[in-house]
Chain A
Amino acid sequence: QKEVEQNSGPLSVPEGAIASLNCTYSDRVSQSFFWYRQYSGKSPELIMSIYSNGDKEDGRFTAQLNKASQYVSLLIRDSQPSDSATYLCAVNVYNNNDMRFGAGTRLTVKP
């Protein structure tokens, strides 16, 4: 089992819809969770970080964390074509020495 798993997609949604991206992780002591966006040929850029159970909202983005289920998700409301990218889930264990990334989910928002 991979440490961080994501559906590779592609996930296709119409413009204006809600895009839902999911991620599961295997290490129960994981403490920090991140969503990165990566445009084709570019470097990953941080969108959201979340450390506590529940929801965290930032503009059109909402991260949701459920540590009991070892599940973290990213919702993108009012999806725009510019949101089309690969979204990487990353997990870090407190005081651990490295971050583990999922393989990413490719999202396409169609006009």
Chain B
Amino acid sequence: DADVTQTPRNRITKTGKRIMLECSQTKGHDRMYWYRQDPGLGLRLIYYSFDVKDINKGEISDGYSVSRQAQAKFSLSLESAIPNQTALYFCATSLGTPQETQYFGPGTRLLVL
């Protein structure tokens, strides 16, 4: 079984809809992250969480919110989806050592019409 899973893997929604992307991990890592990837822009951090009670904004948090329901679960919500949120979304985890190697889920491809 995959260590980091994301659901759904693909999603099509309409402008103005609220949607939630979910991430679960079995690696036992405390730190979890949400990124989006756009062609030519690489990975950009949306939100990160170092434990259940610690949530922090990343580089591009506007229009997004998150919930850390448990150590193993970290959800990303788009409150009112807009077309420029069409992207590939990745969840990642890390152990929290200074070296900070991150392990990525398979990604969720989101299309906002």
Using a CB–CB cutoff of 8 Å, the interface residues on chain A facing chain B are: 4, 8, 31-32, 34, 42-46, 49, 51, 88, 90, 92, 94-95, 97-99, 101-104
Contacts and interface: CB of A to CB of B under 8 A. Distances in A.
Interface residues of B, number: 23
B83 to A, nearest CB: 21
Contact of A32 (B59, B100, B104, B106): B100
Given A34-B101, A42-B107, 9 more contacts: A8-B40, A43-B107, A44-B104, A90-B102, A92-B99, A97-B48, A97-B50, A99-B100, A103-B42
A43 B98 CA distance: 23
A90 B102 CA distance: 10
B43 A44 contact: yes
Interface of B: 33, 40-45, 48, 50, 56, 58-59, 90, 98-107
A4 B45 CA distance: 14
A95 B100 CA distance: 9
Contacts of A92: 99-100
Contacts of A98: 33, 45, 48, 58-59
Nearest to B31: A97
B101 A103 contact: no
Contacts of B101: 34, 46, 49
Given A43-B107, A45-B104, A49-B99, A103 B56 contact: no
Contacts of B102: 34, 46, 90, 99
Contacts of A42: 106-107
